Structure 1
Amino acid sequence: MERFATLLDRLSYTPQRNGKLRLLADHFSTTPDPDRGYALAALTGALDFKTAKAAAIRSLVSERVDPVLFELSYDYVGDLAETAALIWPRKHGANRAPDLVEVIDGLSTVTRAGAPALIESWLDALDAQSRWALLKLVTGGLRVGVSARLAKTALAQFGDVDVTEIEELWHGLQPPYESLFAWLDGKADKPVNAAKAPFRPVMLAHPVDDGAFERLNPDDFLAEYKWDGIRIQAVSEAGVRRLYTRTGDDISHAFPDVLAALEFEGAIDGELLIRTADGQVAPFSDLQQRLNRKTVSKTMMTRLPGFIRAYDILVEGEEDVRSLPLTERRETLERLLKQTGSTRIDLSETVRFEDWSDLDALRADPPHALAEGVMIKRKDSPYLAGRPKGPWWKYKRDPFLIDAVLMYAQRGHGKRSSFYSDFTFGVWREEDGEQVLTPVGKAYFGFTDDELKKLDKFVRDNTVERFGPVRSVAARPDFGLVLEIAFEGLNRSPRHKSGVAMRFPRIHRIRWDKPAGEADTLDTVVKILPKPLTPTAKQ
């Protein structure tokens, strides 16, 4: 457990990607089985312990420590696992410290009723750093800046193989991945892919840079609209059907209506979207209601029907077609979709353009309200895993910008747990003849470490109310902090008081110079809402 705790601690304080890769590769090379496999499973989200959650941890700590002291400490630290680990009074004569395998086995077999006593015994035996790692493992909130993709990349570096080989094997493997490590150690053959309807690593695009169009010939490319959904891979092979996200997460359970439409043999690449009652593309907020659900009701499937806008094809029947040029793959995809004839899958339309200026105009003001811009793809490009430079480009429309006023702040997590780094902002609206602020969004990135320190100081110096871990700051027409907010789109949202929900908001600039009373109004923001498409608009 101590080795795992040290890894988590070093990862959380290593911001650089290459530094994290080195830490992970070193851990895989120096840690024996099955510990390294369970560490990998924890980092990639492959472990889920249902017997102990955050409420049980709070209850345990409150029995050992003055509840008022614990709440004050939690309010200051801002992270449950870190607070509990630091404040937990170590018990003399406790049992030996458990190793990682013992913890995994215990959490996997203990009942809900027996979990608190088991965790309590471990907390008594561990030091503060290992207690923190244990509680992060129990609650599933590692937050050490390691994605599943990064962990797999570290595995590939450790074993000197291509990360795509690991990606294609991944769904047929189970923790603690001993056959995988035996192969990467050079002690065994590559594991046979046991997964049915496996995930294949997706091909990604680069943002268009300033000199791209000077280097690229428009005749070599085709373009299509970039839609505001989530990138998916739909696979139907040997009677098994699956929907994967671009990172390989299986979301089939949340979209049985889409899964039922995969009446083909092969694997296609596309965008998962929701269709409105009149056949248009629905806002991302509608899709969001169906994501991350373990089950979905028939009522929700009827109200929010999912469908795929297909971009590409990877496998047709038993033939891998990724090496074919894009134009041939599109012909294959079009033929496959015509044979399927499902209304749940349609073909992404190509965009006609003569030169880059034509495309720039379509990118800046696409005819479809929910298109984010355009994708540009070389006609002769094979389907290559990862993000190769040159074949595919994404050319998004410029973000929207508004001036908003900081209203509330909350502490962050991990290395930001001692800073107020999650900011709720609002715009002005008139109420009973007065200007009042209405929250329109929340942002927690877009600023430098130095700017974070200044924002944190402003929050502490200008707090007017406290609501648990949240602080309300002074915000009046004559005083307040203006934040220039960038965001990708705006949707109507009856769940929010403002009636709108932002897509990917972030702090673009801190307007220390601007009076709060000159920030934008709700009327100005609402004007950004996409206009409803006419019934004749082509989707």
Structure 2
Amino acid sequence: MHAFADLLDRLIYTRSRNAKLKLIGEYLRATPDPDRGWAMAALTGDLDLPAVKSSTIRALIEERTDPVLFTMSRDFVGDTAETVALLWPEPEPLRAEALPGYDLRLSAVVERLAALSRSDAPAVLAAMLDRLEANERFALLKLATGGLRVGVSARLAKTALANAFDLDVDAVEEVWHGLAPPYEPIFAWGEGRGKQPTPADVPVFRPFMLAHPLEDGTVDLDRFAAEWKWDGIRVQLVHVAGETRLFSRAGDDITGAFPEIATHFATPGVLDGELLVRGEAQGHALGEGGGAASFNALQQRLGRKTVSKKMLADYPAFVRLYDLLFDAEADLRELPWEQRRGRLEAFAARLDPEYFDVSALIEAADFAALAELREGARSAAIEGVMLKRRDSAYVAGRRVGLWYKWKRDPLTADCVMMYAQRGNGRRSSFYSDYTFGCWNEAGELLPVGKAYSGFTDEELKWLDRFVRGNTVNRFGPVREVEKTLVLEVAFDSVHHSKRHKSGLAMRFPRISRIRRDKPAAEADTIATLESLIV
């Protein structure tokens, strides 16, 4: 556990990407199986220890220290695991050798926590914490609850593994989701002790091809094809050896949440598409959203392990297909986009049209005409335009010059700051998360969204001073402020929502400007936002 804790500690204080890659690589080369495999599972978000919840940890620390002290410390530090690790009483003597009975190797800790019931978890977790130093306690708590937040993405961790053993990162990514932690076949391959794992007869995830934002400039429509960028979630459909899997963009298996899609995809192959919920309007007309409802409707289905019959009926899902990676056993990824598109259309013709269709191409005489069509794209299900080079192979990740995403311009509204909360990590000392509202007909200010991005570091310092100097009430870590500051908020769309008092919810809100020049009374109204719903 000590080596893993040291790795996390170093990663937290390392900003350089290359330095992070080196740290992880050195750890993986020096650490034996299965510890290094469980470390990779933690770094990539593939570790699930359901017996330990945040509430369990809070209850344990409140038994051992003043609950008010813990609350105040947590508010200041901004991270529960770090706060508990620092406040946890130091046993005498400290080290585990003097408190026998627990194997505190990383693999042993993971295996023991994975086998626990929720009722047994508190006692076992507390005994482990009693045997560890502060940085090890932090690592244990992060491990137990997930979400390490050490500035390492899953892709970065896999890149570090590939670099450490001179492997191709795309080859590692391709078989990753077909293997279970602690990934011993990958390490055996990397060290020359075993063969390269293959995805044969296993429904595994392949890395998606991604697009660069189209900033200023144009593309030649003779060389690029255009299609709508649909506002759902990107999915990969895999059917191999009689098994079907749905994977999210992050490679998570979401098959259980969309059983109707899995049931009706029984044709061997691998497809790339957008998961959507069907709206009332059918067909492919732009004004109807191509038969798709807003992302808000899709959210009702996300994050569920099982789905009720009512949910299936109220929010019927379908997949709008973008690309064909495999046609049965034939790997098409090296083919140019135009050839894959033809194969996709033929493949899709064999699928049930109630659950699958092909994303239509946009016909435009030139780029100016396409820009005009994009400007009018305010359907609830359309985010903008995708531009794909006609001769492009399907390659993992973002490759310059192949695919571009040209999102529609965001909507904006002038809102009034209502509440603020401290951030996490390096923002834990700043009030950086802001709830804002608009006026209703009765002159009440009702919350319409929350944002924690879009501003510079200097603007963050100014906003933090405003919150501290204009606080009128406190609710735990949340401060209510005087309703005097107007924020211009950019957002992708707005939808009806029963979960919010205003009846509205913004999609992807971010602060685009601080309107110190505008009186709060002149901020926008709920009615104005409602007029933007499509």
Give the TM-score band, short-chain normalised. Answer: over 0.9
- Distance across 2 between alignment mates of 1:510 and 1:28: 46
For structure 2, list consecutive stretches of 5 or more residues without a partner in the other structure. 98-103, 283-290
CA apart distance, 1:166: 0.9
Offset from partner CA, 1:414-455 (integer Å, 9 cap, x none)? 222232221111122231xxx331111111112233322222
Task: Report the identity percentage.
Answer: 55
- Distance across 2 between alignment mates of 1:276 and 1:330: 26
**Distance of aligned partners of 1:276 and 1:198 in 2 relative to their CA distance in 1, 3 Å threshold:** same
CA apart distance, 1:369: 4.2
Partner of 2:309: 298
The reply on whether 1:341 has 2:352 as its aligned counterpart is: yes
The reply on whether 1:189 has 2:195 as its aligned counterpart is: yes
- Distance across 1 between alignment mates of 2:406 and 2:449: 25
Give the TM-score of the pair, scaled to structure 1: 0.92
Partner of 2:393: 382
**Distance of aligned partners of 1:156 and 1:509 in 2 relative to their CA distance in 1, 3 Å threshold:** farther
Partner of 1:170: 176
1:450 is matched by which residue type in structure 2? Answer: E
Partner of 2:294: 283
For structure 1, list consecutive stretches of 5 or more residues without a partner in the other structure. 531-539
**Distance of aligned partners of 1:11 and 1:445 in 2 relative to their CA distance in 1, 3 Å threshold:** farther
Partner of 2:499: 495
Partner of 1:465: 473
CA apart distance, 1:224: 0.8
Q: 2:462 aligns with which of 420, 445, 454?
A: 454
**Distance of aligned partners of 1:194 and 1:111 in 2 relative to their CA distance in 1, 3 Å threshold:** farther
CA contact (8 A) 2:45 2:147 kept: no
**Distance of aligned partners of 1:18 and 1:522 in 2 relative to their CA distance in 1, 3 Å threshold:** farther
CA apart distance, 1:50: 1.9
Partner of 2:375: 364
Offset from partner CA, 1:34-67 (integer Å, 9 cap, x none)? 2221111111122111222111111111111122
Partner of 2:135: 129
Partner of 1:61: 61
- 1:222 is paired with a residue of what secondary structure? strand
Q: 1:518 aligns with which of 498, 516, 522?
A: 522
Partner of 1:268: 271
Partner of 1:235: 238
- Distance across 2 between alignment mates of 1:70 and 1:195: 52
2:242 is matched by which residue type in structure 1? Answer: G
Q: 2:118 aligns with which of 98, 112, 116?
A: 112
**Distance of aligned partners of 1:21 and 1:437 in 2 relative to their CA distance in 1, 3 Å threshold:** farther
**Distance of aligned partners of 1:34 and 1:260 in 2 relative to their CA distance in 1, 3 Å threshold:** same
Q: RMSD value over aligned CA atoms?
A: 1.9
1:245 is matched by which residue type in structure 2? Answer: S
Partner of 2:24: 24
Offset from partner CA, 1:342-392 (integer Å, 9 cap, x none)? 310011111101111011111111274421111111222221121111121
CA apart distance, 1:277: 3.5
1:514 is matched by which residue type in structure 2? Answer: K
**Distance of aligned partners of 1:228 and 1:119 in 2 relative to their CA distance in 1, 3 Å threshold:** same
- 2:434 is paired with a residue of what secondary structure? strand
- Distance across 2 between alignment mates of 1:271 and 1:115: 39
Offset from partner CA, 1:275-310 (integer Å, 9 cap, x none)? 024432111011111111111111101100110001
**Distance of aligned partners of 1:99 and 1:52 in 2 relative to their CA distance in 1, 3 Å threshold:** same
CA apart distance, 1:204: 1.0
- Distance across 1 between alignment mates of 2:432 and 2:6: 26
Moved more, 299-308 or 154-163: 154-163
Give the TM-score of the pair, scaled to structure 2: 0.93
- 1:219 is paired with a residue of what secondary structure? coil
2:82 is matched by which residue type in structure 1? Answer: E
Partner of 1:537: none
The reply on whether 1:483 has 2:487 as its aligned counterpart is: yes
- Distance across 1 between alignment mates of 2:166 and 2:433: 39
1:443 is matched by which residue type in structure 2? Answer: A
The reply on whether 1:403 has 2:414 as its aligned counterpart is: yes
Q: How many residues align?
A: 520
